[in-house]
Amino acid sequence: MNRDKYLNAVKSSLEQNIFYHSLALEACMGGIYDYLSKNNLLKNDKLSKKDWTLAGLIHDIDYVGEFKEFHPNKTKEALAKSNLEIPDEIDKIVKAHAPSLTGIKTESLAQWAIFCADSLTGLIVAVALIYPSKKLAEVKVNSVLKRFLKEPRFAAGTRRDEVKMCELPEGLNIPLEKFIEICLTSMQLIAPDIGL
Ligand SMILES: [Fe+2]
């Protein structure tokens, strides 16, 4: 699977802010995979890092036009417009970021990762935007954590209950602070690509 082709499809289909969010989630998925891999926590997960990151990159591709109301159940159809396909395993990861819309149960580690990280990216971006420089490089784990825990109205669209499920033993089993650190660090590595 050639990332560039999927990247171009996402870029040409989505508005810039959702495109940037897609890149951010792609980076987070890669970072979470690397953390689990380094710590021998991938269990029997058979999916590759490329599967994880591709799911992050394309997870909102049907959030536009005639498919929008069916999001994220029309990923394959939206990709078909660019003559692209994905295997069912990746489609299942994508669907897991919104179980209430797809009926897909969150089971695999990749599914937990996309489910928990999806709305955290927005909070991290919002913290960066507080700084005059608007640079992700300035953001510290603690300032994200504080706003996450103590300022529920800050970046209110963040589904804090879902992000916090990163701690569930049957899922990722990663402490919230570590999870924030992984996602923040991953996004900092691609900051110029997402305008931060
Ligand atoms: Fe998303």
What would the 3-class secondary structure string for 9-54 be?
HHHHHCCHHHHHHHHHHHHHHHHHHHHHHHCCCCCCCCCCHHHHHH
Distance 56 CA to ligand 1 centre (A): 8
DSSP conformation letters of 139-185: --HHHHHHHHHH-TTTTTTS-HHHHGGGG-TTTT---HHHHHHHHHH
- Is residue 127 within a helix (H) or strand (E), and if so which, with residue range? helix 120-128
- Classify the phi-psi angles of 134: left when phi > 0, otherwise alpha if psi is within -120 to 50, otherwise beta: left
Kindly give the distance from the C-alpha atom of residue 73 to the centroid of ligand 1, in angstroms, as a whole number. 13
| pLDDT at position 38 | 96
Q: What is the whole-number distance in angstroms between the Cα of residue 29 and the centre of ligand 1?
A: 12
Expressed in angstroms and rounded, the spacing between residue 59 Cα and the centre of ligand 1 is 6
Distance 22 CA to ligand 1 centre (A): 7
For residue range 11-37, what is the model confidence (pLDDT) as tens digits? Answer: 999 999 999 999 999 999 999 999 999
Query: What pTM was computed for the model?
Result: 0.95
Mean pLDDT of all residues belonging to the chain: 95
Residue 183 to residue 27: CA distance in whole angstroms: 8
Q: How remote is the CA of residue 44 from the centroid of ligand 1, in Å? A: 26
Give the pLDDT of residue 170. 93
Ligand 1 center from residue 118 Cα (angstroms)? 5
pLDDT tens per residue across span 54-109: 999 999 999 988 898 988 989 999 999 999 999 999 999 999 998 888 888 899 99
Determine how many CB atoms are found less than 10 A away from the CB of residue 124. 28
